[in-house]
Structure 1
Amino acid sequence: MFKTLIIGALTALLAVNAHSASDSAGHLTTIDYSPYYQLTIPTADLAGAKIFAGVGPAIRFSDSLRLGGWVTSGEEDGVPEGFDLALYPRYVLGLDATDELPADLQRLFSLRAFGVSQDAAIAEKPYRNGMLYSACDYPSCLFFVTHHAQNEHILVLKTEGFSINSILSFLEADHVE
């Protein structure tokens, strides 16, 4: 148990890579989820934040602002090999009908599995490298992020208090090397 906590804490700390730069945006912190998915957050926004380990790094910025995320694959989600995972958010959010899919696959695409009600506001927006899909019951939102360069992994974000535009700005920020 203690060993698991230590490994989780180290994972969270390693996932948050701080890169500082002197540009017009100031200092930035990049959270690397994979080679395809990074969030770049103004470092000042992280003052007083608490970082937790879970499936991926989770950050409590304040009492009303929280962000947790993880990268998932088709294998982890139980979809068959060769399934285009970029379609996963479209099925979960009801943007594409699942009627033509086998019954066992249809059961995988449920908002309730993510703790989101069917009344959530659904949106999709392009960003620099792919598409951002959201289901929001404000202040809580579930985001799926796909990447044009691949269709085998997606980034899943669960947030409290963040708007779609905030998440888009984290995805589209210029990364500092």
Structure 2
Amino acid sequence: MKLISLFALLVLTTGCATKPESTISYSGAFNLNVPTQALSNATFFSADGLSVAWPGGKLISGLAITRESEALPPDFELKDYPKYALGLKSPSNLGKRVANLLGNSATEFDRSFGKERVEVRSVRDLKVYSACRQPKCMAFVVKDGVDDHILSVYTQKINQKEFNELINGL
């Protein structure tokens, strides 16, 4: 009887096993969960934000964007930042300095990725604005209930499917 019970327990727990994950924390609100095995041979470093690079050129870089970091006025709605920075919404209703700043961001984004490549989707409590033009992808991630910062994620040599899976890990 003990042998049968032990075998049943082993079979049941094998089905419950999960792959170990590691967390890359960009802020208290934005934590990226990645399979620990995927971090083999990776180098972590900090530039403007936290980045992870692999031999061969793969890169994930993330940065928490705040009003202060972007020199935006205190009353600016950060949840709208991606719409302006990606050219989805005209900044003409903003002050001249902010309109120029965000207009320049939209122009640079369009040149690098193409505004027509923007995808907007909801993932749980997140609104994700993303675009890929191989070999790079980028996203702005807005989280419900978090109004003091958003997350910017940039990758190189990670295809769109892998990028979307990565963002789903937030």
Tell me which interval the TM-score lies in, with the shorter structure as reference length: 0.7 to 0.9
SS in structure 2 opposite 1:104? helix
Amino-acid identity (%): 26
Q: Does 1:153 align with 2:116?
A: no
* Partner in structure 2 of residue 134 of structure 1: 130
Aligned length: 153
Contact preservation (8 Å) 2:30, 2:151: yes
* Partner in structure 1 of residue 100 of structure 2: 107
More strand by share: 1
CA distance in 2, matches of 1:173, 1:59: 15
Deviations 1:26-69 (A, max 9, x none): 01011111111010000111111111221222111341421011
SS in structure 1 opposite 2:37? helix
CA distance in 2, matches of 1:65, 1:23: 31
How high is the TM-score relative to the length of structure 2?
0.78
Structure 1 counterpart of 2:24, which letter?
I
Contact preservation (8 Å) 1:78, 1:108: no
Deviation of the 1:173 alpha carbon: 3.7
SS in structure 2 opposite 1:83? coil
* Partner in structure 1 of residue 4 of structure 2: none
Contact preservation (8 Å) 1:93, 1:135: no
Q: Which has the larger radius of gyration?
A: 2
Stretches of structure 2 lacking an aligned partner (at least 5 in a row): 1-14
* Partner in structure 1 of residue 39 of structure 2: 46
The 4+ residue runs of structure 1 with deviation greater than 6 A are none
Contact preservation (8 Å) 1:45, 1:61: no
Stretches of structure 1 lacking an aligned partner (at least 5 in a row): 1-21
* Partner in structure 1 of residue 12 of structure 2: none
Contact preservation (8 Å) 1:68, 1:157: yes
User: Cα distance 1:114–1:76, how it changes in 2: closer, same or farther (>3 A)?
Assistant: farther
CA distance in 2, matches of 1:145, 1:86: 9
CA distance in 1, matches of 2:91, 2:110: 20
Q: Does 1:28 align with 2:28?
A: no
SS in structure 1 opposite 2:68? helix
CA distance in 2, matches of 1:161, 1:23: 33
Deviations 1:109-144 (A, max 9, x none): 114567962625211111112111123221112211
User: Cα distance 1:23–1:155, how it changes in 2: closer, same or farther (>3 A)?
Assistant: farther
